[in-house]
Amino acid sequence: MTSRPTEAQHLRDLALLRRVRDRMDREYAQPLDVEALARGVNMSAGHLSRRFRLAYGESPYGYLMTRRIERAMALLRRGDLSVTEVCFEVGCASLGTFSTRFTELVGMPPSTYRRQAASDASGVPPCVAKQVTRPIRNREARGPVPPLA
């Protein structure tokens, strides 16, 4: 039988999860894994993964990859880097994994996105293009996530 966390523990966990999410937002291009993220907040990798999914609707890895894809989209819109260069610039070690995840989130392969973005974004300010083309995370697509219990 497991005990339910107290309200104070719940708030401490949320603060730690925000630290993890903020670190991924800042260091998305660095080699990050769940074990390293968990060590940074003195949690086990399993506990971090479960609590992160409850709080944000996706796994830490899913969140990190979405962040990387968002940055990749901006770099591809600029058009001065190849798809392979963008892949490594955003912290992905595998072009295949990058292309697969990009296609899942954006709906087209990165090379197609790059060609299309070059023609579609002419004359559109980068801040508007970023907002309009932002990939939809799993949580946003499914609706609100139930509160942590």
DSSP line for 60-92 = HHHHHHHHHHHHHHHHHHH-SS-HHHHHHHTT-
Nearest to 69 by CA among 77, 141, 118: 77
CA distance 48 to 12: 13
Reduced to 3 states (helix: H, G, I; strand: E, B; else coil), residue 99 is helix
* Alpha carbon distance 82, 103 (integer Å): 16
Q: Averaged in consecutive runs of 10 residues, what is the pLDDT profile of the chain (149 residues)?
A: 72 93 95 93 94 94 95 93 96 95 95 85 62 55 48
Q: Look at residue 79 in the predicted model and tell me its pLDDT.
A: 86
Q: Please tell me whether residue 32 adopts helix, strand or coil conformation.
A: coil
Which residue is listed with tokens 């980068």?
A: 126
Q: How many CB atoms lie within 10 A of CB 11?
A: 12
pLDDT at residue 20 in the model:
97
